[in-house]
Chains A and B, each alone.
Chain A
């Protein structure tokens, strides 16, 4: 069963408008959330993250909001630019168990198209 869900496989937005990408999670142990961006023929690159002790984190045009009670987070891109067109992955991780590694649990991704 998927623990991180991105229910919208694709999203189209006009240049200059706001893009809102949504992500839901089911595992209450997750305490750190991340967004990765992936262009075709490239690997995912880190975009922004948020700890569960916060409800908002902002970095330039990108803001991530976390609603713990709803187990929901969203990524806002304002203003959207054509170069933002990519696949966006939501990911989550829980605390260090002392073994293995920090496991990243990913969503399936949302393909964002920003139309000029």
Chain B
């Protein structure tokens, strides 16, 4: 039990589909993050939410649309994706966005996305 749960764990979608990734944290944290890991590339921060407010968007294309309805849930809505968007998408949470990361940031198990 990691405290950060992601669903689905695996997703295959066509380029014209609309799907969503879901993340839930049971740790009482105030900050949530989406990271992306493409093949042969490092983990990259996509979005940061603090108390349901988006505080960071790292130049992510608009076909990725995050939503944070409350401090425990984070979604990543996907539409008209490209095959190069196939990657591992990791959700994470921390007590505060202003807390220096270390053992304070908890990652989910990830959602493997394949765009065909």
Question: Which A residues form the contact surface with B (CB < 8 A)?
Answer: 2, 4, 32, 34, 41-46, 49, 89, 91, 93, 96, 99-109
Stretch binding the partner chain, chosen from B48-56, B61-69, B72-80: B48-56
B residues in contact with A42, CB < 8 Å: 2, 109
- A18 and B78 CA atoms in complex are apart in Å by 44
- Min CB distance A97 to B, Å, is 10
Whether, in the assembled complex, B15 has its beta carbon less than 8 Å from a beta carbon of chain A, the answer is no
Q: Which residue of A lies closest to B39 (CB)?
A: A108
Q: Which residue of B lies closest to A5 (CB)?
A: B42
Decide if A101 touches B42 in the complex (CB within 8 Å). Answer: no
Decide if B45 touches A104 in the complex (CB within 8 Å). Answer: yes
Decide if A46 touches B103 in the complex (CB within 8 Å). Answer: yes
Whether, in the assembled complex, B105 has its beta carbon less than 8 Å from a beta carbon of chain A, the answer is yes
Decide if A101 touches B56 in the complex (CB within 8 Å). Answer: yes
Q: What is the interface residue range for chain B against chain A?
A: 20 to 34
- Min CB distance A21 to B, Å, is 15
B residues in contact with A44, CB < 8 Å: 43, 90, 107
- Min CB distance A48 to B, Å, is 9
- Min CB distance B37 to A, Å, is 8
Whether, in the assembled complex, B113 has its beta carbon less than 8 Å from a beta carbon of chain A, the answer is no
Q: When each residue 65-105 of chain B gets 1 if its CB lies under 8 Å from chain A and 0 otherwise, what string results?
A: 00000000000000000000000001010000111111111
